[in-house]
Amino acid sequence: MKEKSNIKKPIYSFLSKKQKEVRGLSELALDMRWSWDHSADEVWRQLNPELWDNTRNPWAIMQTISREDFQSVIDDPVFREKIDFLVKSMRDTNSAPAWFQKYHPNSSLTCVAYFSMEFMLTEALPIYSGGLGNVAGDQLKAASDLGVPVMGIGLLYQQGYFRQEIDLNGEQRALYPFNDPGQLPIPPLRQTDGEWLRLKINLSGNNVWLRVWQVQVGRIKLYLLDSNDAANFPVHRGITSELYGGDNELRFKQELILGIGGWRLLQELDIHPEVCHLNEGHAAFAILERAYTFMKETGQAFNVALAVTRAGNLFTTHTAVPAGFDLFEPAIVEQYLGEYAEQKLGITCKQLLALGRKNPEDDSEKFNMAYLAIHGSGAVNGVSWLHGKVSRKIFEPLFPKWPTAEVPVRHITNGVHMPTWDSKEADEIWTEACGKDRWLGMNKTLGKDIGSVSDEKIWEMRTNANKALIAFASEYVSKQLMGSGHSSDSVEGAKHLFNSNILTLGFARRFVTYKRPNLLLHNPQRLLRLLTNPNFPVQLIIAGKAHPADYRGQDLIKEWMLFIRQTTPRPPVLFLADYDMHVSENLVQGVDVWINTPRRPWEACGTSGMKVLVNGGINLSELDGWWAKAYSPEVGWALGDGNEHGDDPEWDAREAEQLYHILENEVIPEFYDRKEHGIPTKWIARMRKSMAQLTPRFSADRAVREYTEQHYLPAATNYLERAANNGVKGKQMINHLQSLQENWDWVHFGEVKIATSEKQHVFDVQLYLNDIEPDDVQVELFANGLNDEGPMITKMERGDRTEGRVNGYHYSASVSSSRSAADYTPRVIPHLPGLSVPLETVLILWQH
């Protein structure tokens, strides 16, 4: 007799009977909108509460729920109506006109291809490490909200970034669990006949097949390339194994796949973006493949194709130190791209290498991906005001003879996707005060509206959010300790270590020396007194990873673990291992004060502190990155003096002292200064001002609107103009520029006369242009800016020809005599229609 099986049949075994409901739930589970629109959370919790709480992955629930369990809920008509409502709501939202359609209805922009090495969308898709992925994920979500036509390109890692465990000795252990694609909310991309879409790319003479996965992010699609194809050799299957793992050659191959493979995917899908946005230099090889595609379509040479396509490329740098850029040995470039350069691009390998070098003639210079991005883009930007300034200094060597202030790097300060990071309590307050559509780019009174919320409501929000954080942290750390072999007494003690009525500080980020994560530990006994003050106690939650190859960063983690475990009495400090998006969400929603201690100016922007704004958290941060411009005394607290001091240990000690002082004399007294009903009136006033003044300024919808209007729209227009008629305009510009370059050395200044009156200096200079047409140059008076302002540039007008010389002219201009005439220097630069100077040519001549 056949035995009866106890194995439950999966949900898909009866798809035909409950087809509508299963498809509706699948559609909901495969749209990342659930990561910021939490209207379906209760549906997933009802289907499998334990799995939902552990994974926050609706697709994993759909893959594992049994037919019997599904049947028990789907028979409920209320549940079915809820599914129908959610599916209709999602479809309506994704198809409704948004900010872009309303404000730019006739735009020529149809697609922005957004390339990034990592994307942080949800903990259910662990293909991110930290800040770079955070920015990429939040910008995709904001672009979806705003209706901006963006498409993401990234990589699917079999293991992603490492997972962290802290052992009994306080040592970090790196774990690499496999990301089962079948459990991730990403279906394979299939062709119309149902066959899996696969791309072929040549790596050093070997064909490598790439699988493609599709991620739905609201209105937007993100495509992930994956080398783990059965047709590949094992060594090639492992190319996309880890994020930021392996050696330099593996990183090079990953970036080839991202850039060249990513652009080929767009061609395979018959998608033709006007704009290519490179989120850091990792994807810069897309510049080459885009130019090659244009060459194939038009028959133009590489230099013309690059001139045309670069107009539509945008490079965003996130690196604040030169050592942070990817550098590759010339031999690696030649091995993997030598044949590609000669046979496809029609250039020599040396010419290709020159695109990634400061000195094209130095054969020993390594290939810099950031340099390639700059040489192939029509615009470059940093991610905060200070980072823009730092980046201009970093890239100054690429623009010889040009002042640092005119190095062509602008800035757009990052923002975070507020609906992703706000707590339920914060969402309710913001919705009541500002409306449900407050982050969609059309509410102009956010600050005023949220500023009117009462003290009682704001404090109730903070109290409830802090209680939720304490509950989460206690449960999380108890599981963490049990998993690493701690005693039951240690586990139980950690559960009851925190109190929701106590001031809670948060510090969570990558553990690396320049971030100084141990600045609070500079004087351990003073920190202990601060934490255990019986009248005004403080508790601290810490989280963060150190790269497996960064042993100093791992030592910093161990220092904290020793302080936590060996200090008597035990301090109220929790270290939450395996810092990921889920941990981050809970932290930023519940902490009272967010601490950030990098060495200025090494924090390019720093988005973690932005996430607490929407939740009423307050920042205590170094005057670096975004905080350098965001800080004012009424919204938070500042470390440092606004200057750079390098890695001077004496300055670190001074700032540690400053940090203790601010906590002891400002933060803690203000938090515990309670009025009627136990409400800290001054604290709440600071919270309200922080929420009102800073949250709108540092939201991702603001950042994406700025990218759209300052970069995407102009780039699309410029690219289409250059590309028209098979690139005729681009070719004309290249020819014109080449002629300028050939004759530039013959240009020289003659006599300079200055007439000074009470109000102005009048300059008259003679300029001899030889074979260059006068309309092809612009003559200017230049003076350095004052008080950290930009330079003063005055265009000089062309007047009469000079006597006795061929192609010589007088140029004149008047400037205020409030500054010395010696402050001004005449100069001449190229002036060709549509040419970006000095990004596309560094030609310049100064009068000496």
Q: How far apart are CA 51 and CA 244, in angstroms?
A: 29
CATH of the domain at 499: 3.40.50.2000
Q: Report if residue 416 sits inside a domain.
A: no
Three-state SS at 65: coil
β-partners of residue 326 are none
Mean pLDDT of 556-583: 93
Q: What is the pLDDT of residue 611?
A: 97
Statement to judge: residues 451 and 400 lie in one domain: no
At residue 728, φ and ψ (nearest 5 deg) are -60, -45
582-608 pLDDT, tens digit per residue, is 999 999 999 999 999 999 999 999 999
483-513 pLDDT, tens digit per residue, is 888 888 888 888 888 888 999 999 999 999 9
* Domain boundary pick from 76, 95, 114: 95
Q: What is the pLDDT of residue 71?
A: 85
| For residue 6, pLDDT beyond 70 | no
Statement to judge: residues 235 and 367 lie in one domain: yes
The pairing of beta strand 636-639 with beta strand 792-795: unpaired
Q: What is the pLDDT of residue 18?
A: 61
What is the average pLDDT value for the chain, to the nearest integer?
93
pTM score: 0.95
Q: What is the pLDDT of residue 799?
A: 94
Q: How far apart are CA 311 and CA 313, in angstroms?
A: 6
Q: How far apart are CA 658 and CA 546, in angstroms?
A: 26
Statement to judge: residues 91 and 203 lie in one domain: no
- The region of weakest confidence among 92-106, 291-305, 672-686 is 672-686
Statement to judge: residues 202 and 304 lie in one domain: yes
Mean pLDDT of 308-321: 97
CATH of the domain at 816: 2.60.40
Q: How many CB atoms lie within 10 A of CB 187?
A: 15
Q: How far apart are CA 62 and CA 183, in angstroms?
A: 9
Give residues with Cβ within 8 angstroms of 444, minimum separation 6.
none
Q: How many CB atoms lie within 10 A of CB 335?
A: 16
Return the residue matching tokens 């948004």.
Answer: 98
CA-nearest of 813, 777, 810 to 795 is 813
| For residue 14, pLDDT beyond 50 | no
Q: How confident is the model at residue 771 (pLDDT cuts 50, 70, 90)?
A: very high
Statement to judge: residues 526 and 616 lie in one domain: yes
* Domain boundary pick from 95, 118, 140: 95
CA-nearest of 154, 173, 163 to 115 is 154
Statement to judge: residues 609 and 694 lie in one domain: yes
**Cα dihedral 831, 832, 836, 841 sign:** negative
- The region of weakest confidence among 61-75, 135-149, 261-275, 409-423 is 61-75
Q: Report if residue 716 sits inside a domain.
A: no
Q: How confident is the model at residue 4 (pLDDT cuts 50, 70, 90)?
A: very low
Statement to judge: residues 366 and 381 lie in one domain: yes
Count of structural domains, the chain: 4
Q: Report if residue 109 sits inside a domain.
A: yes
In the chain the first and final C-alpha atoms are separated, in Å, by: 103
| For residue 252, pLDDT beyond 60 | yes
Q: Report if residue 834 sits inside a domain.
A: yes
334-387 pLDDT, tens digit per residue, is 999 999 999 999 999 999 999 999 999 999 999 999 999 999 999 999 999 999
| For residue 422, pLDDT beyond 90 | yes
Q: What is the pLDDT of residue 22?
A: 86
Residue 466, domain extent: 422-431+447-698
Q: What is the pLDDT of residue 11?
A: 52
CA-nearest of 310, 209, 349, 423 to 737 is 310
* Domain boundary pick from 95, 116, 148: 95
Burial 684-707 (b: 16+ CB within 10 A, else e): bebbbbbbbbbbbbbbbbbbbbbb
Statement to judge: residues 567 and 671 lie in one domain: yes
Q: How far apart are CA 189 and CA 444, in angstroms?
A: 40
CA-nearest of 279, 384, 419, 422 to 606 is 384
| For residue 308, pLDDT beyond 50 | yes
The token pair at 422 is: 């706000």
- The region of weakest confidence among 152-156, 235-239, 284-288, 567-571 is 567-571
